[in-house]
Amino acid sequence: MPGMTITSISLSISLDGYIAGPHDGPDNPLGDGGSSLFDWWTAGTEPLANDPRFAPPTRSRQVATELFDCGAVLTGRRTFDIARGWGGHHPAGAPFFVLTHSAPPHWVGPGTGGTAVTDGIRSALDQARHVAGDRPIGITSANVAQQYMAAGLVDEINLNLIPVLLGSGVALFANLPEPVGLECTRVVESDGVTHLRYRVIT
Amino acid sequence: MPGMTITSISLSISLDGYIAGPHDGPDNPLGDGGSSLFDWWTAGTEPLANDPRFAPPTRSRQVATELFDCGAVLTGRRTFDIARGWGGHHPAGAPFFVLTHSAPPHWVGPGTGGTAVTDGIRSALDQARHVAGDRPIGITSANVAQQYMAAGLVDEINLNLIPVLLGSGVALFANLPEPVGLECTRVVESDGVTHLRYRVIT
Protein backbone atom coordinates (compact mmCIF):
# COMPACT_ATOMS: atom_id res chain seq x y z
CA MET A 1 0.00 0.00 0.00
CA PRO A 2 1.97 3.01 -1.21
CA GLY A 3 0.00 5.35 1.05
CA MET A 4 1.36 3.54 4.09
CA THR A 5 5.01 3.86 3.14
CA ILE A 6 7.10 5.65 5.76
CA THR A 7 9.76 8.11 4.60
CA SER A 8 12.65 8.10 7.02
CA ILE A 9 15.79 10.22 7.15
CA SER A 10 18.47 7.75 8.09
CA LEU A 11 21.99 8.99 8.77
CA SER A 12 24.97 8.77 11.09
CA ILE A 13 25.71 12.17 12.54
CA SER A 14 28.21 13.85 14.86
CA LEU A 15 26.99 15.40 18.10
CA ASP A 16 27.43 18.80 16.45
CA GLY A 17 25.22 17.85 13.51
CA TYR A 18 27.54 16.87 10.66
CA ILE A 19 27.07 13.81 8.46
CA ALA A 20 30.55 14.27 6.94
CA GLY A 21 33.59 16.29 7.88
CA PRO A 22 35.02 19.12 5.78
CA HIS A 23 36.69 18.52 2.39
CA ASP A 24 34.55 15.51 1.49
CA GLY A 25 34.85 14.14 -2.02
CA PRO A 26 35.26 10.89 -3.97
CA ASP A 27 38.73 10.38 -2.50
CA ASN A 28 37.63 11.38 1.02
CA PRO A 29 34.01 10.19 1.13
CA LEU A 30 33.25 11.13 4.73
CA GLY A 31 35.48 14.20 4.84
CA ASP A 32 38.24 15.00 7.32
CA GLY A 33 37.59 13.09 10.53
CA GLY A 34 34.27 11.83 9.22
CA SER A 35 35.21 8.17 9.07
CA SER A 36 34.52 8.08 12.82
CA LEU A 37 30.84 8.44 11.91
CA PHE A 38 30.84 4.99 10.35
CA ASP A 39 33.12 3.16 12.81
CA TRP A 40 30.13 1.65 14.61
CA TRP A 41 29.18 -0.34 11.52
CA THR A 42 32.25 -2.53 12.01
CA ALA A 43 32.82 -2.19 15.77
CA GLY A 44 31.26 -5.56 16.66
CA THR A 45 32.37 -9.11 16.09
CA GLU A 46 29.43 -10.85 14.41
CA PRO A 47 28.72 -10.07 10.74
CA LEU A 48 25.29 -8.79 9.89
CA ALA A 49 23.04 -11.34 8.18
CA ASN A 50 21.91 -8.80 5.58
CA ASP A 51 25.45 -7.85 4.63
CA PRO A 52 28.48 -9.61 6.14
CA ARG A 53 30.73 -6.62 5.37
CA PHE A 54 29.19 -5.02 8.43
CA ALA A 55 29.40 -6.15 12.05
CA PRO A 56 27.82 -3.56 14.34
CA PRO A 57 28.04 -3.94 18.11
CA THR A 58 25.47 -6.23 19.68
CA ARG A 59 23.10 -3.54 20.87
CA SER A 60 23.12 -1.93 17.40
CA ARG A 61 22.24 -5.07 15.45
CA GLN A 62 18.47 -4.63 15.54
CA VAL A 63 18.75 -1.02 14.37
CA ALA A 64 21.26 -1.90 11.65
CA THR A 65 19.09 -4.74 10.41
CA GLU A 66 16.13 -2.38 10.18
CA LEU A 67 18.17 0.20 8.29
CA PHE A 68 19.00 -2.44 5.72
CA ASP A 69 15.38 -3.50 5.45
CA CYS A 70 14.23 -0.45 3.54
CA GLY A 71 12.24 -0.69 0.33
CA ALA A 72 13.91 2.16 -1.52
CA VAL A 73 16.53 4.85 -1.00
CA LEU A 74 16.31 8.52 -1.92
CA THR A 75 19.64 10.22 -2.30
CA GLY A 76 21.29 13.30 -3.79
CA ARG A 77 23.63 13.73 -6.69
CA ARG A 78 26.51 14.95 -4.55
CA THR A 79 26.30 11.92 -2.25
CA PHE A 80 25.95 9.68 -5.28
CA ASP A 81 29.04 11.13 -6.95
CA ILE A 82 31.11 10.97 -3.76
CA ALA A 83 30.12 7.32 -3.26
CA ARG A 84 30.83 6.63 -6.94
CA GLY A 85 27.21 5.53 -7.21
CA TRP A 86 27.95 2.59 -4.89
CA GLY A 87 28.96 0.87 -8.12
CA GLY A 88 25.31 0.84 -9.12
CA HIS A 89 24.11 -1.11 -6.08
CA HIS A 90 23.29 0.65 -2.82
CA PRO A 91 24.64 -1.04 0.35
CA ALA A 92 21.09 -1.27 1.69
CA GLY A 93 20.30 -3.61 -1.20
CA ALA A 94 17.27 -1.54 -2.20
CA PRO A 95 16.54 0.34 -5.40
CA PHE A 96 17.85 3.88 -5.13
CA PHE A 97 16.70 7.14 -6.69
CA VAL A 98 19.15 9.96 -7.29
CA LEU A 99 17.81 13.50 -7.32
CA THR A 100 19.80 15.29 -10.00
CA HIS A 101 19.55 17.99 -12.63
CA SER A 102 20.95 15.70 -15.31
CA ALA A 103 21.32 11.93 -15.41
CA PRO A 104 24.77 10.67 -14.34
CA PRO A 105 26.70 8.72 -17.00
CA HIS A 106 27.29 5.66 -14.78
CA TRP A 107 25.73 3.54 -12.06
CA VAL A 108 22.09 4.17 -12.96
CA GLY A 109 19.74 2.56 -15.44
CA PRO A 110 19.48 -1.02 -16.72
CA GLY A 111 21.61 -3.55 -14.84
CA THR A 112 21.90 -1.32 -11.78
CA GLY A 113 19.67 -0.56 -8.78
CA GLY A 114 19.81 3.14 -9.57
CA THR A 115 17.36 5.51 -11.22
CA ALA A 116 18.12 9.14 -12.00
CA VAL A 117 15.23 11.49 -11.22
CA THR A 118 15.39 14.89 -12.87
CA ASP A 119 11.88 16.15 -12.19
CA GLY A 120 11.97 16.81 -8.49
CA ILE A 121 11.46 15.35 -5.05
CA ARG A 122 7.77 14.48 -5.43
CA SER A 123 8.43 12.47 -8.56
CA ALA A 124 11.29 10.66 -6.82
CA LEU A 125 9.07 9.89 -3.84
CA ASP A 126 6.31 8.57 -6.10
CA GLN A 127 8.76 6.28 -7.88
CA ALA A 128 10.24 5.11 -4.58
CA ARG A 129 6.79 4.35 -3.18
CA HIS A 130 5.99 2.34 -6.27
CA VAL A 131 8.85 -0.09 -5.59
CA ALA A 132 9.00 0.06 -1.77
CA GLY A 133 5.66 -1.57 -1.04
CA ASP A 134 5.06 -1.32 2.69
CA ARG A 135 8.75 -1.09 3.55
CA PRO A 136 10.21 2.27 4.60
CA ILE A 137 11.92 4.64 2.20
CA GLY A 138 15.31 5.82 3.46
CA ILE A 139 16.56 9.34 2.82
CA THR A 140 20.33 9.24 3.03
CA SER A 141 21.77 12.58 1.98
CA ALA A 142 21.68 15.89 3.80
CA ASN A 143 20.56 18.17 1.01
CA VAL A 144 17.79 15.84 -0.11
CA ALA A 145 16.71 15.36 3.51
CA GLN A 146 16.43 19.12 3.86
CA GLN A 147 14.27 19.36 0.74
CA TYR A 148 11.90 16.65 1.96
CA MET A 149 11.76 18.15 5.46
CA ALA A 150 10.94 21.60 4.08
CA ALA A 151 8.16 20.06 1.97
CA GLY A 152 6.67 18.26 4.97
CA LEU A 153 7.27 14.85 3.38
CA VAL A 154 9.32 13.20 6.13
CA ASP A 155 7.64 10.85 8.61
CA GLU A 156 10.58 9.75 10.68
CA ILE A 157 14.18 10.68 11.53
CA ASN A 158 16.63 7.92 12.41
CA LEU A 159 19.96 9.20 13.68
CA ASN A 160 23.00 7.23 14.67
CA LEU A 161 24.51 9.82 16.99
CA ILE A 162 28.30 9.57 17.21
CA PRO A 163 30.29 10.91 20.17
CA VAL A 164 32.48 13.34 18.26
CA LEU A 165 32.46 17.06 17.53
CA LEU A 166 33.72 17.57 13.97
CA GLY A 167 33.54 21.36 14.11
CA SER A 168 32.64 21.74 10.44
CA GLY A 169 31.50 19.72 7.46
CA VAL A 170 28.18 18.78 5.89
CA ALA A 171 25.38 19.83 8.26
CA LEU A 172 22.22 17.74 8.24
CA PHE A 173 19.87 20.28 9.73
CA ALA A 174 19.74 23.48 7.70
CA ASN A 175 17.37 25.40 5.47
CA LEU A 176 14.32 24.51 7.55
CA PRO A 177 11.65 27.13 6.86
CA GLU A 178 9.88 26.71 10.21
CA PRO A 179 10.16 24.74 13.49
CA VAL A 180 9.19 21.08 13.45
CA GLY A 181 7.89 19.18 16.46
CA LEU A 182 9.10 15.63 16.98
CA GLU A 183 8.36 12.72 19.25
CA CYS A 184 11.22 10.48 20.33
CA THR A 185 10.07 6.93 19.71
CA ARG A 186 13.23 4.96 20.46
CA VAL A 187 16.60 5.40 22.13
CA VAL A 188 19.19 2.65 21.92
CA GLU A 189 22.43 3.16 23.80
CA SER A 190 25.15 1.13 22.13
CA ASP A 191 28.94 1.09 21.95
CA GLY A 192 30.27 4.19 20.22
CA VAL A 193 26.83 5.23 19.00
CA THR A 194 23.42 6.20 20.33
CA HIS A 195 20.53 5.39 18.05
CA LEU A 196 17.70 7.92 18.17
CA ARG A 197 14.40 7.59 16.35
CA TYR A 198 11.90 10.44 16.03
CA ARG A 199 8.45 10.71 14.55
CA VAL A 200 7.65 14.02 12.85
CA ILE A 201 4.48 15.35 14.46
CA THR A 202 4.03 18.84 13.01
CA MET B 1 40.63 19.75 45.90
CA PRO B 2 40.38 22.34 43.13
CA GLY B 3 42.39 20.18 40.74
CA MET B 4 39.66 17.57 40.80
CA THR B 5 36.83 19.91 39.85
CA ILE B 6 34.95 18.87 36.72
CA THR B 7 33.88 21.55 34.24
CA SER B 8 30.66 20.55 32.55
CA ILE B 9 28.71 22.19 29.77
CA SER B 10 25.11 21.77 30.86
CA LEU B 11 22.32 22.87 28.54
CA SER B 12 18.97 21.93 27.04
CA ILE B 13 19.24 21.79 23.27
CA SER B 14 17.07 21.13 20.24
CA LEU B 15 17.85 18.17 17.99
CA ASP B 16 19.26 20.66 15.48
CA GLY B 17 21.63 22.16 18.02
CA TYR B 18 20.01 25.35 19.32
CA ILE B 19 19.84 26.34 22.98
CA ALA B 20 17.38 29.15 22.18
CA GLY B 21 15.23 30.04 19.21
CA PRO B 22 15.68 33.17 17.09
CA HIS B 23 14.93 36.67 18.45
CA ASP B 24 15.87 35.87 22.02
CA GLY B 25 16.05 38.76 24.46
CA PRO B 26 14.97 39.82 27.96
CA ASP B 27 11.30 39.75 26.92
CA ASN B 28 11.68 36.46 25.02
CA PRO B 29 14.38 34.64 27.02
CA LEU B 30 14.41 31.40 25.04
CA GLY B 31 13.62 32.94 21.66
CA ASP B 32 10.81 32.03 19.28
CA GLY B 33 9.73 28.46 19.93
CA GLY B 34 12.53 27.99 22.46
CA SER B 35 10.31 27.56 25.51
CA SER B 36 9.85 23.96 24.37
CA LEU B 37 13.47 23.40 25.39
CA PHE B 38 12.54 23.91 29.04
CA ASP B 39 9.16 22.17 29.12
CA TRP B 40 10.69 19.03 30.60
CA TRP B 41 11.61 20.91 33.78
CA THR B 42 7.92 21.10 34.71
CA ALA B 43 6.51 18.10 32.84
CA GLY B 44 6.32 15.85 35.90
CA THR B 45 4.13 15.88 38.97
CA GLU B 46 6.48 15.80 41.94
CA PRO B 47 8.43 18.96 42.80
CA LEU B 48 12.18 18.68 42.96
CA ALA B 49 13.64 18.68 46.46
CA ASN B 50 16.35 21.18 45.50
CA ASP B 51 13.86 23.64 44.03
CA PRO B 52 10.10 23.05 44.20
CA ARG B 53 9.49 25.36 41.22
CA PHE B 54 10.65 22.45 39.07
CA ALA B 55 9.02 19.05 38.66
CA PRO B 56 10.77 17.05 35.94
CA PRO B 57 9.37 13.70 34.82
CA THR B 58 10.30 10.74 36.99
CA ARG B 59 13.10 9.43 34.80
CA SER B 60 14.68 12.91 34.67
CA ARG B 61 14.77 13.50 38.42
CA GLN B 62 18.21 12.06 39.03
CA VAL B 63 19.70 14.11 36.20
CA ALA B 64 17.93 17.28 37.31
CA THR B 65 19.06 16.81 40.88
CA GLU B 66 22.65 16.45 39.69
CA LEU B 67 22.39 19.57 37.54
CA PHE B 68 21.35 21.51 40.63
CA ASP B 69 24.18 20.06 42.64
CA CYS B 70 26.93 22.08 40.98
CA GLY B 71 29.46 24.07 42.95
CA ALA B 72 29.63 27.09 40.65
CA VAL B 73 28.22 28.34 37.36
CA LEU B 74 30.10 29.99 34.52
CA THR B 75 27.94 32.06 32.22
CA GLY B 76 28.11 34.79 29.61
CA ARG B 77 27.02 38.41 29.66
CA ARG B 78 24.38 37.93 27.00
CA THR B 79 22.74 35.04 28.88
CA PHE B 80 23.02 37.04 32.09
CA ASP B 81 21.32 40.10 30.58
CA ILE B 82 18.56 38.03 28.95
CA ALA B 83 17.89 36.29 32.27
CA ARG B 84 18.00 39.66 34.08
CA GLY B 85 20.81 38.19 36.11
CA TRP B 86 18.42 35.69 37.70
CA GLY B 87 17.73 38.51 40.14
CA GLY B 88 21.20 37.95 41.53
CA HIS B 89 20.66 34.31 42.47
CA HIS B 90 21.16 31.54 39.92
CA PRO B 91 18.44 28.85 39.86
CA ALA B 92 21.09 26.21 40.53
CA GLY B 93 21.66 27.84 43.91
CA ALA B 94 25.40 28.09 43.28
CA PRO B 95 27.69 31.10 43.00
CA PHE B 96 27.84 32.26 39.42
CA PHE B 97 30.55 34.01 37.43
CA VAL B 98 29.67 36.23 34.48
CA LEU B 99 32.22 36.60 31.71
CA THR B 100 31.92 40.21 30.58
CA HIS B 101 33.93 43.11 29.24
CA SER B 102 32.55 45.47 31.88
CA ALA B 103 30.78 44.75 35.15
CA PRO B 104 26.97 44.83 34.93
CA PRO B 105 25.26 47.47 37.12
CA HIS B 106 22.94 44.95 38.84
CA TRP B 107 22.70 41.40 40.15
CA VAL B 108 26.39 40.93 40.91
CA GLY B 109 28.50 41.80 43.91
CA PRO B 110 27.71 41.92 47.63
CA GLY B 111 24.34 40.44 48.59
CA THR B 112 24.11 38.41 45.39
CA GLY B 113 25.52 35.09 44.20
CA GLY B 114 27.06 36.76 41.18
CA THR B 115 30.58 37.87 40.36
CA ALA B 116 31.56 39.77 37.25
CA VAL B 117 34.78 38.55 35.67
CA THR B 118 36.43 40.91 33.22
CA ASP B 119 39.83 39.27 32.83
CA GLY B 120 38.98 36.18 30.81
CA ILE B 121 37.90 32.58 30.98
CA ARG B 122 40.89 31.25 32.90
CA SER B 123 40.41 33.78 35.67
CA ALA B 124 36.70 32.90 35.83
CA LEU B 125 37.51 29.21 36.02
CA ASP B 126 40.06 29.78 38.79
CA GLN B 127 37.51 31.75 40.79
CA ALA B 128 34.83 29.11 40.19
CA ARG B 129 37.18 26.34 41.29
CA HIS B 130 37.96 28.25 44.46
CA VAL B 131 34.32 28.14 45.59
CA ALA B 132 33.20 24.86 43.99
CA GLY B 133 35.30 22.48 46.04
CA ASP B 134 34.87 19.04 44.60
CA ARG B 135 31.48 19.76 43.04
CA PRO B 136 31.20 20.26 39.28
CA ILE B 137 31.30 23.65 37.61
CA GLY B 138 28.43 24.14 35.19
CA ILE B 139 28.89 26.11 31.96
CA THR B 140 25.48 27.36 30.93
CA SER B 141 25.80 29.69 27.96
CA ALA B 142 26.68 28.88 24.36
CA ASN B 143 29.32 31.49 23.69
CA VAL B 144 31.16 30.81 26.95
CA ALA B 145 30.91 27.06 26.33
CA GLN B 146 32.52 27.59 22.93
CA GLN B 147 35.38 29.56 24.47
CA TYR B 148 36.06 26.88 27.08
CA MET B 149 35.81 24.10 24.47
CA ALA B 150 38.25 25.87 22.17
CA ALA B 151 40.67 26.27 25.08
CA GLY B 152 40.46 22.57 25.96
CA LEU B 153 39.05 23.35 29.41
CA VAL B 154 35.83 21.30 29.29
CA ASP B 155 35.70 17.87 30.91
CA GLU B 156 32.10 16.91 30.28
CA ILE B 157 29.07 17.81 28.16
CA ASN B 158 25.60 17.28 29.60
CA LEU B 159 22.84 17.79 27.08
CA ASN B 160 19.12 17.59 27.62
CA LEU B 161 18.15 16.78 24.03
CA ILE B 162 14.68 18.01 23.13
CA PRO B 163 12.63 16.50 20.28
CA VAL B 164 12.18 19.65 18.24
CA LEU B 165 13.86 21.24 15.23
CA LEU B 166 13.94 25.01 15.76
CA GLY B 167 15.53 25.77 12.38
CA SER B 168 17.49 28.75 13.68
CA GLY B 169 18.52 30.44 16.90
CA VAL B 170 21.51 30.30 19.23
CA ALA B 171 23.73 27.37 18.20
CA LEU B 172 25.69 25.63 20.93
CA PHE B 173 28.33 24.02 18.77
CA ALA B 174 30.26 26.57 16.74
CA ASN B 175 33.71 28.10 16.51
CA LEU B 176 35.46 24.86 17.36
CA PRO B 177 39.03 25.06 16.02
CA GLU B 178 39.49 21.30 15.66
CA PRO B 179 37.56 18.02 16.09
CA VAL B 180 36.98 16.75 19.62
CA GLY B 181 36.55 13.11 20.53
CA LEU B 182 33.96 12.22 23.14
CA GLU B 183 32.85 9.20 25.08
CA CYS B 184 29.18 8.80 25.86
CA THR B 185 28.96 8.01 29.57
CA ARG B 186 25.21 8.08 30.16
CA VAL B 187 21.96 8.02 28.19
CA VAL B 188 18.66 8.54 30.00
CA GLU B 189 15.49 8.27 27.95
CA SER B 190 12.78 10.29 29.63
CA ASP B 191 9.48 11.91 28.68
CA GLY B 192 10.01 14.75 26.21
CA VAL B 193 13.77 14.75 26.71
CA THR B 194 16.77 12.49 26.28
CA HIS B 195 19.64 13.17 28.66
CA LEU B 196 23.08 12.60 27.15
CA ARG B 197 26.34 12.85 29.02
CA TYR B 198 29.74 12.86 27.31
CA ARG B 199 33.28 12.89 28.58
CA VAL B 200 35.76 14.90 26.50
CA ILE B 201 38.60 12.57 25.61
CA THR B 202 40.79 14.56 23.20
Going along chain A from its start, the domains and CATH numbers come out as: 2-17+72-200 (3.40.430.10)
* Residue B170 C-alpha, separation from nearest chain A C-alpha, in angstroms: 13
pLDDT over 90 (residue B16): yes
Residue A201 pLDDT: 95
Inspect the interface and report whether the beta carbons of A17 and B176 lie closer than 8 Å.
no
Of residues A173, A178, A183, nearest to B163 (C-beta)? A183
Residue B170 pLDDT: 97
**What is the average per-residue pLDDT within A139-156?**
97
- Provide the pLDDT confidence category of residue B50 given band limits of 50, 70 and 90: confident
Q: What's the rounded Cα separation, in Å, for the pair A170 and B134?
A: 39
The answer to whether the CB of A137 falls within 8 A of the CB of A73 is yes
pTM of the model: 0.95
pLDDT over 90 (residue B171): yes
Residue B153 pLDDT: 97
Q: What's the rounded Cα separation, in Å, for the pair B19 and B23?
A: 12
* Residue B23 C-alpha, separation from nearest chain A C-alpha, in angstroms: 14
**Chain B CB contacts of A194 below 8 Å:** 184, 187, 196
Of residues B165, B176, B183, nearest to A173 (C-beta)? B165
Sign of CA dihedral B184, B188, B190, B195: negative
CA dist list (Å): B58 to B14, B55, B62, B70, B139: 21, 9, 8, 21, 25
Residue B3 pLDDT: 53
**Chain A CB contacts of B184 below 8 Å:** 163, 189, 192, 194
- Provide the pLDDT confidence category of residue B2 given band limits of 50, 70 and 90: very low
Count residue pairs from A and B with Cβ separation < 8 A. Answer: 89
The answer to whether the CB of A187 falls within 8 A of the CB of B189 is yes
Residue A202 pLDDT: 77
Q: What's the rounded Cα separation, in Å, for the pair A90 and A80?
A: 10
With an 8 Å Cβ cutoff, the interface of chain A facing chain B consists of: 15-17, 21, 32-33, 36, 149, 157, 159, 161, 163-168, 173, 176-184, 187, 189, 192, 194, 196, 198
Inspect the interface and report whether the beta carbons of A182 and B164 lie closer than 8 Å.
yes
**What is the average per-residue pLDDT within A19-43?**
96
Assembly ipTM: 0.95
Residue A2 pLDDT: 43
How long, in residues, is chain A? 202
Of residues A21, A173, A194, nearest to B196 (C-beta)? A194
Residue A3 pLDDT: 53
Residue A144 pLDDT: 97
- How would DSSP label each residue in chain A? -GGGPPEEEEEEEETTSEEE-SS-BTTBTT-TTGGGGTGGGGSSSSPPSS-TT----GGGHHHHHHHHT-SEEEEEHHHHHHTGGGGGS-TT-S-EEEE-SS--SSS-STTSSEEEE-S-HHHHHHHHHHHHTTSPEEE--HHHHHHHHHTT---EEEEEEESEE-SSSEESS---SS-EEEEEEEEEE-SS-EEEEEEE--
**Chain A CB contacts of B180 below 8 Å:** 164-165, 167
With an 8 Å Cβ cutoff, the interface of chain B facing chain A consists of: 15-17, 21, 32-33, 36, 149, 157, 159, 161, 163-168, 173, 176-184, 187, 189, 192, 194, 196, 198
Q: Exposed, middle or buried, A50 (CB in 10 Å: 0-12/13-18/19+)? A: middle
**In this structure, what are the phi and psi dihedrals at residue B148, rounded to the nearest 5 degrees?**
-70, -40
Question: Is residue B98 classed as helix, strand or coil in its secondary structure?
Answer: strand
Mutation pick from A187, A188, A193, A195 vs chain B, by most beta carbons of B within 10 Å, is A187
